[in-house]
Amino acid sequence: MEIITARIDRVTKEKMKKLSYINWSDVIRETVIKKIQEEEAKEQIIDKSAIQEGMVIASTVRKSNKGWNSTEEIRKWRNQIT
């Protein structure tokens, strides 16, 4: 395991001494692990409004344009290249 150092105020340290039966290293370790898990969970939350906005954009792009033929467009571009 790695070692970290933290500073606390004198009053807190005195209170910790009074509660010396508590394994403060474990308390701090568990708190750090819990905070890491919370932050990682936040990263997993999906923004529904962003998904809906993306769906609107995608459906707009997918709509067919009358009078436009993709096959003809591809042939036109291929002929320009050669």
Asked if the model's pLDDT at residue 44 lies above 80, the reply is no
Cβ neighbours of residue 22 closer than 8 Å, sequence gap 6 or more: 16
Q: Which of 63, 77, 73, 1 is nearest to 32 (CA)?
A: 1
> What mean pLDDT do residues 30-38 have?
96
Query: What's the CA gap between 72 and 70, in Å, rounded?
Result: 5
pLDDT above 80 (res 46)? no
Closest CA to 42 of 53, 34, 30, 54: 34
Top mean pLDDT of 31-35, 38-42, 68-72 is at 31-35
What average pLDDT does range 68-73 have in this prediction? Answer: 85
Select from 39, 30, 28, 40 the least CA-distant residue to 4: 28
Percentage of the residues of the chain whose pLDDT score is greater than 90: 44
